[in-house]
Structure 1
Amino acid sequence: MDLNLSDEQRLLRESAERFVAGSYDADHRRKMANDPLGFSPAVWKQFAELGWLALPIPEEFDGLGGGAVEIGILMEAFGRGLVSEPYVATVVLGAALIARCGTDEQKQASLPKIADGSLKLAFAHSERAARFDLAKVATSATRTAQGWRLAGSKIAVLDGHAADEIIVSALMHDHHGPSGRIGLFVVPATAPGLAISDYPRLGGGRACNLTLSDLHLPEDALLGDGGDALPAIEWAVDRAMAALGAEAVGIMQTLLDTTLDYTKIRKQFGRPLSANQVIRHRLADMAMQVDEARSMALRAALKVDAAPTERARAASGAKAKIGKCARFVGEQSIQLHGGMGVTEELEVGAYFKRLVAFDTLFGGSAHHYARHAELGRKA
């Protein structure tokens, strides 16, 4: 298998790295951390102009028809700059679910708007009692004469506060009770009965909790034909984990580069730290962990359209391994920077916080080691 990037992929990587290096400095990140929106609408517009919002959207809906590898290239560059724009929520999760589950009319109504930057989405699925089990949904959707009535709550909705529409998962009920099927419903952010409570995420960006109280929706708010959406949810979350893994690789590479430069200029007893053999060994271990994580992220991206079990094992394997590598690289970077590593004067701490957040999103390493093993027994 040829794992070299194509000419188009190399150009995408170069343009993304150049844009992030020019637009995301420490001052910009501090400004976004104190901004109630958590990201820049002007930068989001630039994402649209560069074609990044259209990247994975099918060509018939004004997209570029890119795949998970291209998304990974972009996300790795985003990791280098700690980008806080709602790319994963809108493009990797929201657009993917609409493209997979929606009717032709629903796709035509939403996907071109996502591509041009005029529609931002969020995906609300996690619940307190679920403990990262995607099949556990307590939020209910009851059929009514006019459409649907939703009731329940969701937690940790990425960038839900900034979304124009939120895709909410709910257990569908008919006249006989729960149907056993999970449906996806497109809920306008201004819908009566929807309460949004947002908060800053560790490492940048924002998330929110949702409360749905007697929320009424029309019939066509349901994505697709009403079949069980759980396989599509698992597919989309596996795609998101592959993308977030690539972002973590970008963060880890930045920490490695920053730590290497610091040990060259920081002197102790008249010699740079990098002259110490023990320090060199630690840097070599960090570099190995970054390369291992990059390989796992690429493997997960290459498997996103494989058979469900193969895809899920690749995604969980990557999430577990990258989470372990990320914590090692982050901790070593802070330690090698000494006391400066935990001050706001350097951004090492901010990058480490984003890695800690990555390890928790969609389940930590322990959860995904267990999922990987369970899938292996079923294979």
Structure 2
Amino acid sequence: MNFQLTEERQMLQDSLRRFLSDRYSVALHNDTLSSPLGYSATIWQQLAELGMIGALLAPEVGGYGGAGFDISTVFEELGRAGVVEPVLDCAVLCGSLLAGLDGAPTAREQKLLDQLIAGEQQLAFAHGEPSSRYERCWVETRAVAEGDEVVLTGRKSVVINAEAADQLIVSARETGAAGDRDGLSLFLIDPAIAGVRLRGSALMAGGRAAEVDLDGVRLSQSTRLGTAGQAANRIETALARAEVALAAETLGAMETATRLTMDYLTTRQQFGRLIGSFQALQHRVAEMLIEVEQARSAVINAAGHLEDLPHMRDRHIAAARNLVGRTGRRIAEESIQLHGGIAMTAEYELAHIVKRIILAEHRFGDADTQLERFIDLSAA
């Protein structure tokens, strides 16, 4: 496996880093947190114009990247800057679902992908449910065929970007029990149609999410994405890509937390000396740097195996998420302790970065859940 970025990916990384360094200030971040959408429409459009959304999707669907290292390159920089725009949920998750696995996208799906890449379409994936915990195929929402229509009934929890979405991609079960892989389908829904109710709230790490109630939502059969009852592979592939993105984003945030801590130790004085001159603190920072490099290796490994067979892919991703979750928690705790009270003030960048590190672990499965997945996949 080649760990070096290609020339194209290096250019992608450099241009995104310069853009975020120039535009994504703490003040802009705080303004974005209080906005009704939960993200900056201007930043979103500029990211699209830079080609960052297209870099996350394959050339076959209009993008020019889409491989594991493309995803990790983009998201490491997004994590480094603490970006709250819904790139993961809209571009990676929903983009992957639209791209599909069963042949080329339909004309409708390709149109949405083109609009997504251009920054003209907001999407949200309504999949998690109140009782699903971290089970990827646990879906109780039902889709019942009635003539030429399908009727959806159920509830989705913590649907990120739902309030801003032009379309929702909703998972529902047409056959089988709640945890079965077979019987799952995906439907494209206008959130404004009858029977859909959104209850939004702000997220601690930035952005917004909503509880989505589906009360007898009537849809045309044509709103189904892919083959009826065969969406499990499509969902699992999209989630695998999202987990690599999240691990890379956490890595970028860990790098920023460590850099801010080092900067603080070399400027803050105590007892007439820079606190960074104390050997005990130097040792703690050295351990933080080692933890970051271990996390980097895990992210590289997961990104490099993203195109493997599902069993092998998921095993490497579970290992990476477990390690990144544990080391991220360590980096967050150490950076706060070494800073003191200033670390938790809203005006200081570290406060937002630490929140994102801590809360990222709990998306798609925390460190303990990822360890269980790794053990199960290793024993299979």
**TM over 0.5, shorter chain:** yes
Q: Give the deviation of 1:179 after TM superposition.
A: 10
Tell me the distance in 1 between the aligned counterparts of 2:198 and 2:16. Answer: 32
Match of 1:130 in 2: 132
Match of 1:3 in 2: 3
CA deviations 1:107-138 (Å, max 9, x no partner) are 32321111111111111111111111112110
Match of 1:244 in 2: 246
Q: Give the deviation of 1:373 after TM superposition.
A: 0.5
The 3 A distance-change label for structure 1 pair 60 and 101 is: closer
Gaps of 5+ in 1: none
Tell me the distance in 1 between the aligned counterparts of 2:303 and 2:162. Answer: 25
Q: Give the deviation of 1:97 after TM superposition.
A: 0.8
Query: What TM-score results when the alignment is normalised by the length of structure 2?
Result: 0.95
1:36 pairs with 2:36: yes
Tell me the distance in 2 between the aligned counterparts of 1:160 and 1:292. Answer: 35
Aligned length: 375
Match of 2:358 in 1: 356
Question: Quick one: which amino acid aligns to residue 265 of structure 1?
Answer: T
Tell me the distance in 1 between the aligned counterparts of 2:90 and 2:345. Answer: 33
Q: Give the deviation of 1:345 after TM superposition.
A: 3.7
CA deviations 1:20-53 (Å, max 9, x no partner) are 1111111101101111111111111111211112
1:76 pairs with 2:76: yes
CA deviations 1:236-283 (Å, max 9, x no partner) are 111101101111111110010110010011111111111111101100
Question: Quick one: which amino acid aligns to residue 193 of structure 1?
Answer: G
CA deviations 1:303-340 (Å, max 9, x no partner) are 11101111111111111110111110011000000122
Segments ≥4 residues shifted beyond 3 Å:
none
Question: Quick one: which amino acid aligns to residue 208 of structure 2?
Answer: R
Tell me the distance in 2 between the aligned counterparts of 1:20 and 1:200. Answer: 23
Match of 2:47 in 1: 47
Match of 1:189 in 2: 191
Q: Give the deviation of 1:59 after TM superposition.
A: 2.8
Q: Give the deviation of 1:7 after TM superposition.
A: 0.8
What SS class does the counterpart of residue 55 from structure 1 fall into?
helix
Query: What TM-score results when the alignment is normalised by the length of structure 1?
Result: 0.95
Match of 2:59 in 1: 59
Match of 2:109 in 1: 107
Question: Quick one: which amino acid aligns to residue 71 of structure 2?
Answer: I
What SS class does the counterpart of residue 301 from structure 2 fall into?
helix
Q: Give the deviation of 1:62 after TM superposition.
A: 2.9
Tell me the distance in 2 between the aligned counterparts of 1:77 and 1:126. Answer: 27
Question: Quick one: which amino acid aligns to residue 117 of structure 2?
Answer: A
Match of 1:303 in 2: 305
The 3 A distance-change label for structure 1 pair 141 and 80 is: same
Question: Quick one: which amino acid aligns to residue 186 of structure 2?
Answer: L
What SS class does the counterpart of residue 294 from structure 1 fall into?
helix
What SS class does the counterpart of residue 141 from structure 1 fall into?
strand
What SS class does the counterpart of residue 266 from structure 2 fall into?
helix
Question: Quick one: which amino acid aligns to residue 302 of structure 2?
Answer: A
Match of 2:121 in 1: 119
Q: Give the deviation of 1:139 after TM superposition.
A: 0.2
Tell me the distance in 1 between the aligned counterparts of 2:182 and 2:109. Answer: 26
Tell me the distance in 1 between the aligned counterparts of 2:60 and 2:137. Answer: 32
Question: Quick one: which amino acid aligns to residue 312 of structure 1?
Answer: D
1:320 pairs with 2:288: no
Tell me the distance in 1 between the aligned counterparts of 2:98 and 2:279. Answer: 53
Gaps of 5+ in 2: none
CA contact (8 A) 1:300 1:318 kept: yes
Question: Quick one: which amino acid aligns to residue 66 of structure 2?
Answer: G
Match of 1:139 in 2: 141
Match of 1:151 in 2: 153
Tell me the distance in 2 between the aligned counterparts of 1:115 and 1:101. Answer: 19
Match of 1:289 in 2: 291
What SS class does the counterpart of residue 39 from structure 1 fall into?
coil
1:89 pairs with 2:89: yes
Match of 2:218 in 1: 216
Tell me the distance in 2 between the aligned counterparts of 1:58 and 1:256. Answer: 33
Tell me the distance in 1 between the aligned counterparts of 2:254 and 2:185. Answer: 37
What SS class does the counterpart of residue 265 from structure 1 fall into?
coil
Tell me the distance in 1 between the aligned counterparts of 2:119 and 2:213. Answer: 27
CA contact (8 A) 2:154 2:214 kept: yes
Match of 1:18 in 2: 18
